[in-house]
Amino acid sequence: MQIIKAAIAILAVAPAVLAQSSTSTKTPVATPTVAPTTGVKTKTFSGQGTCTNPLIRKEFRELNPTERQSFIDAVKCLRDPKRSPSVIKTNKSPTMYDDLVFLHGQFADVTHRSAQFLPWHRQMLALMEYWLRAQCGYQGALPYWDWTIDSQAPERSELFSAQWFGGNGKQASNWCVTDGQFADTLTTFVVESGKHCIHRKWSGGSSFGKQFPSLASAPFVQNLLDTSKDSYNTFRENLEFGPHNRVHATMGGDMGYTNISPNDVLFFLHHNNVDRTWARWQTANPTLAATYNGPSNPASEAMDAKATDMMPFGGLYPDIPVNKVFSTTSGDILCYKFSNSVAPNSVAFNNKAALSARNARRAAPANVTATLAAAQAITPNPSDRDDKLRLRSTVPLTDAWLQQMKFTPKQVAKIRADEEYAEKFVAAVNAAGYVSQNALTFTEAADDVRPRTAEESALHARLLSILARNVNAFIKGDKSTPAVTDASFVALNKLWTKA
Ligand SMILES: [Cu+2]
């Protein structure tokens, strides 16, 4: 662990480059005064340095219980005013963790709905990871939450258990999270109420996730990667306005408000998966990996962003140009790669016994035909938990939430069009008879998940790509069932579906 002693890197910084806009009642942050603090084990960031031994960021469920606990303990350390006092000298932020919440709120209006969305959050997460290690002695990497796994019934995810991050907030306690390891955590920045707890207010209540089953499913995310190839900005918008938004809106509470969403530590695990999705896209598209375009200002339609645009870190880290973070191994605090995530134990790769067992559980695929309408008719609604095989449809984001997020009419139009498309997409996946690894038949049967190998991961992606291609042809033509007789699809699918 590279503890670099002593003080500081904190540069004096001009107050809020951006004013928080309009909705002042929802704005939790005050103008910061950033000044050096002594005794904080942070380093002098040079922006230089090499990355020789990248950390491997893993899905939370890839970590064993001891590793999970050490991550949580390190987060608690970062939220402890004695062990990790704020490095921002304001009268508000008591801890380094709160500094990150503050940082996120301070620049929320340029780092969302704009080109900077992906690079800025990449650097913010790397800072969090660096602090966990340098300040709190954490030995691991920042874990991610692969929400594709849980997309069909997120409330059943192990992450939301009382053992780890806790479940929904309790209405009687003003939607404070009252179970899990952060149940008694005090937050500093709040909206609406004076309750300084972590709030969660799942849309859809106990069934949770009504706004994401189709858009956050593995087939949809693979399709997003495959069909967002014309520019960085197309990909960024599809990811930000699609799966990214859904998770925030659906978890509700603090996660539903841009300014304070990092209060909930799942923010970091969620955004780590967003970052991982960007990294996957970069790997799949080497010629686009270091490209950058789109709006620099979310309120304007101007596509004026440049790779040399400076990103603001409020003195917690030097402002750096976007192009410094295109690679996750570019050095300084960016030195990590991602694992291949997890698959349900019940979906064994080339494990004949397990495949037989899985087949026994699998009912015959739906006898679906012909039209999109027929496919939509057999697609279960988002609150359904009885259909074990098919992917669920998604309810639209509410107008109120989109308004609160400050989306422009043009952006709202895109979000609505994407929702319509996602409905057709998931219906066609169901019509194809494909049983996703997100299907409840697997996620419920699995007592646990296991790491995916690189080989399996590549094959899984190929399988989903072929499926998505056929499904898109079906949507366009809307004439016949998706052509899943494609030889490579059948061959690949056999790896999972036949003993
Ligand atoms: Cu954000």
For residue 418, report the distance from its CA to the centre of ligand 1, in Å: 21
Q: What is the pLDDT of residue 12?
A: 30
For residue 208, report the distance from its CA to the centre of ligand 1, in Å: 21
Q: What is the pLDDT of residue 372?
A: 83
For residue 119, report the distance from its CA to the centre of ligand 1, in Å: 11
How many Cβ atoms from other residues are within 10 Å of residue 455's Cβ?
11
Q: What is the pLDDT of residues 351-362, one digit of tens each?
A: 555 455 444 444
Q: Angle at the Cα of 469 (from 288 to 479), degrees rounded to 5?
A: 145
Q: What is the pLDDT of residue 6?
A: 31
Q: What is the pLDDT of residues 191-239, one digit of tens each?
A: 866 678 999 999 888 888 899 889 999 999 999 999 999 999 999 999 9
For residue 310, report the distance from its CA to the centre of ligand 1, in Å: 17
Q: What is the pLDDT of residue 353?
A: 52
Q: What is the pLDDT of residues 264-315, one digit of tens each?
A: 999 999 999 999 999 999 999 999 999 999 999 988 879 999 999 999 999 9
Poorest-pLDDT segment among 53-57, 231-235, 461-465: 461-465
For residue 399, report the distance from its CA to the centre of ligand 1, in Å: 20
What confidence category does residue 38 fall into, taking pLDDT thresholds of 50, 70 and 90? very low
pLDDT above 50 (res 328): yes
Q: Output the CA–CA distances (angstroms, integers) from residue 216 to 60, 204, 315, 398, 479, in the order listed.
A: 17, 16, 34, 17, 26
For residue 194, report the distance from its CA to the centre of ligand 1, in Å: 22
What confidence category does residue 135 fall into, taking pLDDT thresholds of 50, 70 and 90? very high
For residue 76, report the distance from its CA to the centre of ligand 1, in Å: 21
For residue 467, report the distance from its CA to the centre of ligand 1, in Å: 32
pLDDT above 80 (res 418): yes
For residue 8, report the distance from its CA to the centre of ligand 1, in Å: 26
How many Cβ atoms from other residues are within 10 Å of residue 433's Cβ?
18
486 Cβ contact list (under 8 Å, min separation 6): 466, 470
Tell me the mean pLDDT in the region 402-421: 93
pLDDT above 90 (res 388): no
For residue 182, report the distance from its CA to the centre of ligand 1, in Å: 21
Ordered domains of the chain (ranges, CATH):
24-338 (1.10.1280.10), 348-497 (no CATH)
Pairing of strands 336-338, 55-57: parallel
For residue 196, report the distance from its CA to the centre of ligand 1, in Å: 20
Tell me the mean pLDDT in the region 432-436: 78
For residue 276, report the distance from its CA to the centre of ligand 1, in Å: 15
For residue 450, report the distance from its CA to the centre of ligand 1, in Å: 29
For residue 111, report the distance from its CA to the centre of ligand 1, in Å: 7
For residue 108, report the distance from its CA to the centre of ligand 1, in Å: 7
CA distance 319 to 152: 40
For residue 265, report the distance from its CA to the centre of ligand 1, in Å: 13
pLDDT above 70 (res 491): no
For residue 377, report the distance from its CA to the centre of ligand 1, in Å: 36
For residue 56, report the distance from its CA to the centre of ligand 1, in Å: 23
The answer to whether the Cα torsion of 224, 227, 233, 238 is positive or negative is negative
For residue 116, report the distance from its CA to the centre of ligand 1, in Å: 10
pLDDT above 80 (res 417): yes
For residue 89, report the distance from its CA to the centre of ligand 1, in Å: 23
For residue 355, report the distance from its CA to the centre of ligand 1, in Å: 40
For residue 419, report the distance from its CA to the centre of ligand 1, in Å: 21
Is the pLDDT higher at 32 or at 396? 396
Tell me the mean pLDDT in the region 434-461: 82
What confidence category does residue 412 fall into, taking pLDDT thresholds of 50, 70 and 90? very high
Select from 249, 263, 151, 124 the least CA-distant residue to 199: 263
CA distance 63 to 447: 15
For residue 112, report the distance from its CA to the centre of ligand 1, in Å: 6
Q: What is the pLDDT of residues 329-358, one digit of tens each?
A: 998 899 999 999 998 776 655 555 545 544
For residue 382, report the distance from its CA to the centre of ligand 1, in Å: 26
Q: What is the pLDDT of residue 83?
A: 96
For residue 320, report the distance from its CA to the centre of ligand 1, in Å: 18
For residue 496, report the distance from its CA to the centre of ligand 1, in Å: 37
What confidence category does residue 484 fall into, taking pLDDT thresholds of 50, 70 and 90? low
SS3 string, the chain, reads: CCCCCCCCCCCCCCCCCCCCCCCHHHCCCCCCCCCCCCCCCCCCCCCCCCCCCCEEECEHHHCCHHHHHHHHHHHHHHCCCCCCECCCCCCCCCEHHHHHHHHHHHCHHHHCCCCCHHHHHHHHHHHHHHHHHHCCCCCCCCCECCHHHHCCCHHHCHHHCCCCCCCCCEHHHCCECCCCCCCCCCCCCCCCCCCCCCECCCCCHHHCCCCCCCCCCHHHHHHHHHHCCCCHHHHHHHHHHHHHHHHHHHHCHHHHCHHHHHHCCHHHHHHHHHHHHHHHHHHHCCCCCCCCCCCCCCCCCCCCCCCCCEECCCCCCCCEEHHHHCCCCCECCECEEECCCEEECCCCCCCHHHHHHHHHHCCCCCCCCCCHHHHHHCCCCCCCCCCCCCCCCCCCCCHHHHHHCCCCHHHHHHHHHHHHHHHHHHHHHHHCCCCCCCCHHHHCCCCCEEECCHHHHHHHHHHHHHHHHHHHHHHHHCCCCCCCCCHHHHHHHHHHHCC
Q: Which residues pair with 310 in a beta bridge?
A: 321
Tell me the mean pLDDT in the region 149-168: 94
For residue 465, report the distance from its CA to the centre of ligand 1, in Å: 29
Average pLDDT, whole number, for the chain?
83
Neighbour-count burial for 268-306, b at 16+ CB within 10 Å, e otherwise = bbbbbbbbbbbbbbbeebeebeeebbbbbbbeeeeeebe
Lookup: tokens for 276: 């991982």
pLDDT above 80 (res 116): yes
Q: What is the pLDDT of residue 15?
A: 30
For residue 313, report the distance from its CA to the centre of ligand 1, in Å: 13
For residue 462, report the distance from its CA to the centre of ligand 1, in Å: 31
Poorest-pLDDT segment among 62-76, 141-155, 378-392: 378-392
